[in-house]
Amino acid sequence: MIAPKFIPLVLRQLLRHRVRSMLTLGGVITAMFLFVTIQAMQAGVSAATQQNADDTTLVVYRKDRFCPFTSQLPEYYQSKIQGIDGVRAVIPMKIVVNNCRTSLDVVTFRGVPLDAFLAVRQEELHLVDGSFELWRHRSDAALLGETLAARRGLKVGDRFDAAGVTAYVAGILRSEEVQDKNVAYVHLDFLQQATDKNLGIVTQFNVLVDAASDLDRVARAIDDEFAVAEHPTTTRSEKAFVAYAAADMVELVAFTRYLGWGCIAAVLTLVGNAIVLSVQDRVKDHAILQTLGYSPWLIGRLVLCEGIVVGLLGGGMGTLLAAGVIEWGQFSLSTDGLSIPIEATPLLLLTGMGISLALGVLAGVVPAWQATRCEIARCFRAV
Amino acid sequence: MIQCEKVTKEYHKGDNVIRPLDGLDLEIPSGHFLALMGPSGSGKTTLLNLIAGIDSPSSGTLRVDGLDLSGLSRGKLAAWRSQTIGYIFQLYNLVPVLTAYENVELPLLLHSMSRKERHRRVAGALDLVDLADRHSHYPRQLSGGQEQRVAIARAIVADPKVVVADEPTGDLDRDSASAIMALLQQLNRVLKKTLIMVTHDPKTADYADQTLHLDKGKLMDGRAASSGSALDDEVTP
Ligand SMILES: Nc1ncnc2c1ncn2[C@@H]1O[C@H](COP(=O)(O)OP(=O)(O)O)[C@@H](O)[C@H]1O
Ligand SMILES: [Mg+2]
């Protein structure tokens, strides 16, 4: 683009109007902060709702129910589901949330039978602290998702309260599964006792299927099994279930995409405006440089670099700021016990930087082109 | 050697045609010091701009050391200027956000040379104009005479063959003006630069080898100056 020896020249021109440059930078930081945050929400929604080719988990829910309070299924369905061809494992699950509305700080309890749960999940769950032994031996013990633990500042040995349940932290777990990150796994009977004493009733069944390609067939077989029972079911893949149960939130987040585009437009006009103004101020400087032998093409590139510096600096700071806030806050959008974590992934940071760079270039193009058009003799007379 | 043949420059303003240069013929040998005089609007700046390759003639040919400038693209012309021309303006035209040192360094950034070599040359040029102690001063912190000396250092730092100066002392008091003229004469005598200078002041013109008068785009009868010898004592350091 330009040789490094020209960079001080570019920076000097940017510092020419300090206040103006600072204001521009502030605007870019703010806009990119918003953009990256919105992107993080979008990415969180995609991760929680978009099915992968190798997903093998089904969720069996009470038909036509949307909330864990109203989905009630008899625990004995477990053995019936287990009998269906293609089913590897069934985990009955009682779900209790401290707040059934959409919120950023929801604690979701998942009550599970220990043996069934560990038999299926122990391998893929990594404990960063505590132990499965401890969890097994205390009746009020809970395994906390990493995000939840970080948000509430909980360590192994702590007790915590939510939804009228007091539990003991026996371990902190790390998992690739989105829904694991924001939950507290407790013993099923403990949770049943601690809440509505509704023994023998669970909220849902999580069903592991042998082959991902079998997902749809098994789902239909389960629903057929209970079609005429007292408690009919609807079975979906876990991601589709999240997309369905959290539809309002997913729609809302989808709408924020337009806000993101608005941020991009704001950055573009801010940087473009700043560079156009500064190029108009410098018609004479550019005529001087041309007189000294700077080609119009080189001057254009110098101007373009100003856009890039502002874009990268402001965009980079906005992106890092957003990443910092997201990382520090460990936010997740939760509704009905389902959680959509907002995460600043490296890819997101890279995207933020890339977009900042692209915006800088784009904003610099017009003023750069204007700068190359200046005919020296005319420019000297114009000022 | 600079050769102008029937050089004409025209500007069109609506139906009006302004012709600052009208079929001008001129030859300037290498190493010559030429002064151009003439009333305001007679085309002096226009001629300097053509010779310096920052503007091109409407018709006629202009050759510098045999090279026809009208055949060059804007980019090529820029590269040629950076090798060949040093331009000194009446109002100095330093870049305000750069220090004296950085202003002088500007032309050298276009040449491939090490930072160290650039430093050597910039320091040398500022030394030559007696501003070795003003490297980090900004133009606004310098007097007019000092600014013009920085501009001279900038014009010669890349060692061009031709230096053009448009009323270089026009905005300066007598003392600063004669210091500048002494410098320019030194460029011509010692460094053997071809020097073309526009001036309003006959005394300033006396430093030159030759003075030509422009009027209405044409050269009047030239008169050979007395080689400036009468003034030598006054200005030689
Ligand atoms: N870009 C231009 N457009 C129109 N007229 C111009 C332009 N440049 C110079 N002129 C005209 O050409 C004439 C000569 O200008 P110039 O060479 O600057 O004169 P001098 O330097 O001798 O005072 C003037 O009448 C000026 O108005
Ligand atoms: Mg003039």
- A11-55, pLDDT tens digit by residue? 999 988 889 899 999 999 999 999 999 999 998 888 888 877 778
Residue B202 has pLDDT above 60, yes or no: yes
Q: Whose CA is nearest to atom 16 of ligand 1?
A: B43
Residue B21 CA: which ligand 1 atom is closest?
A: 14
Q: Average pLDDT for residues A86-92, to the nearest whole number?
A: 93
CA dihedral A349, A353, A359, A363 (to 10 degrees): 150
pLDDT for the residue A103: 64
pLDDT of residue B130: 94
The pair of structure tokens assigned to B172 is 């300066």
pLDDT digits (tens, 9 = 90+) for A154-170: 999 999 988 889 999 99
C-beta atoms of B95 and A293 within 8 A: no
Nearest by CB: A293 against B49, B78, B95: B78
Residues B42-99 pLDDT 10s: 999 999 999 999 999 999 999 999 999 988 999 999 999 999 999 999 999 999 999 9
Evaluate whether A305 touches A2 at the Cβ level (below 8 Å).
Answer: yes
**How far is the centre of ligand 2, averaged over its atoms, from the C-alpha of A377 (Å)?**
11
Element (H, E) at B10: strand B2-13
3-class secondary structure, A47: helix
Report the complex ipTM.
0.91
Q: Among residues A45, A179, A51, which one has the least CA distance to residue A110? A: A179
Number of CB atoms found within 10 A of residue B71's CB: 10
Q: How confident is the model at residue A89 (pLDDT cuts 50, 70, 90)?
A: very high
Cβ-defined contact of A377 to B79 (cutoff 8 Å): no
Are B139 and B150 spatial neighbours (Cβ–Cβ below 8 Å)?
yes
Most distant CA pair in chain A, distance = 92
Max CA distance (Å), chain B = 55
Residue B230: strand, helix, or coil: helix
CA gap A349, A338 in Å, rounded: 26
Predicted confidence at residue B227, as pLDDT, reads 41
- Residue B62: phi and psi, rounded to 5, are -130, 120
List residues of chain B with CB under 8 Å from any CB of chain A: 46, 49, 52, 54-55, 74-75, 78-83, 85, 87, 93, 95-98, 102, 106-107, 109-110, 115, 154, 158
- Which residue of B52, B82, B95 is in closest CB contact with A285? B95
Query: Where in A57-140 does DSSP place strands (E)?
Result: 57-62, 73-74, 87-97, 108-112, 126-130
Pocket of ligand 1 (CB under 6 A): A 378, 381; B 11, 13, 18, 20, 38, 40-46
Cβ distance of A288 and B95 shorter than 8 Å: yes
Total tally of structural domains belonging to chain B: 1
Whether A291 sits inside 8 A of B52 (CB atoms) is yes
- With H, G, I as helix, E, B as strand and everything else as coil, classify residue A260: helix
Q: What is the DSSP letter of B167?
A: S
DSSP letter at B137 equals: -
User: Are the beta carbons of B13 and A252 closer than 8 angstroms?
Assistant: no
Gap between the Cα atoms of B110 and A2, Å rounded: 11
* pTM for this predicted structure: 0.80
Share of chain B above pLDDT 90, in %: 87
- CATH number for the domain that contains residue B31: 3.40.50.300
Summarize pLDDT for A45-60 with one digit per residue, the tens: 888 888 777 788 899 9
pLDDT bucket at A102, cuts 50 / 70 / 90: low
Task: Give the amino acid at A300.
Answer: G
Residue with token string 């200046």: A374
Both tokens of A209, joined, read 């299927």
Q: Please report the pLDDT score of residue A296 as a whole number.
A: 94
Sign, Cα dihedral of B42, A283, B166, B4: negative
Residues B162, B85 contacting (CB under 8 angstroms): yes
Q: Where are the alpha helices (DSSP H) in chain A?
A: 7-15, 18-49, 77-82, 114-121, 132-137, 146-152, 188-194, 215-225, 238-245, 247-281, 283-291, 296-329, 346-373, 376-382
The boundaries of the domain holding residue B122 are 2-233
Mean pLDDT across A228-239? 91
Q: Which of B74, B117, B152, B156 to mutate to test the interface with A (most CBs of A within 10 A)?
A: B74
CA of A276 to the centre of ligand 2 (A): 30
On the question of pLDDT at A196 being above 90, the answer is: no
Positive or negative CA dihedral for B208, B213, B219, B224? negative
E strand or H helix that includes residue A230: none
CB atoms under 10 Å from CB of A364, counted, come to: 28
Counting atoms of ligand 1 from 1, which one is nearest the CA of B198?
Answer: 21
User: Is the pLDDT reported for residue B226 higher than 70?
Assistant: no
Mean of pLDDT over chain A: 89
Give the C-alpha separation, A44 to A250, whole Å. Answer: 10
Domain segments of chain A: what residues? 4-48+248-381, 64-231
Between residues A194 and B198, the one the model is more confident about: B198
Ranked by mean pLDDT, the top range of A152-156, A270-274, B29-33, B215-219 is B29-33
Nearest CA to ligand 1 atom 3: B11
Q: How far is CA B161 from CA B87, B156, B195, B221, in A?
A: 11, 9, 9, 27
* Residue B235 confidence (pLDDT): 40
Residue A378 CA: nearest ligand 1 atom is: 1
CB of A299 within 8 A of CB of A286? yes
User: Could you tell me if A85 and A151 are in contact, meaning their C-beta atoms sit under 8 angstroms apart?
Assistant: no
Average pLDDT over residues A111-129: 89
Query: Do A295 and B78 count as a contact with CB atoms less than 8 A apart?
Result: yes
Take atom 17 of ligand 1 and give the residue whose Cα is closest: B43
Question: Residue B221 — pLDDT band, cuts 50, 70, 90?
Answer: low
How distant is the Cα of B208 from the closest Cα of chain A, in angstroms?
Answer: 24
* Closest-approach residue (CA) in chain B for A297: B75
* Segment A282-339, tens digit of pLDDT: 999 999 999 999 999 999 999 999 999 999 999 999 999 999 998 887 777 777 777 7
Q: What are phi and psi of A285, to 5 degrees?
A: -55, -40
The predicted pLDDT at position B233 comes to: 40
Chain A residues touching chain B at CB-CB below 8 Å: 3, 5-6, 8-9, 12-13, 15-16, 284-285, 288-298, 375-377
Average pLDDT in chain B:
91
The confidence score (pLDDT) of residue B214 equals 94
Sign of CA dihedral A188, A194, A200, A203: negative
Could you tell me which residues come within 8 angstroms of residue A370 by beta carbon, excluding any fewer than 6 positions away? A276, A279
- What is the pLDDT, as a whole number, of residue A101? 60
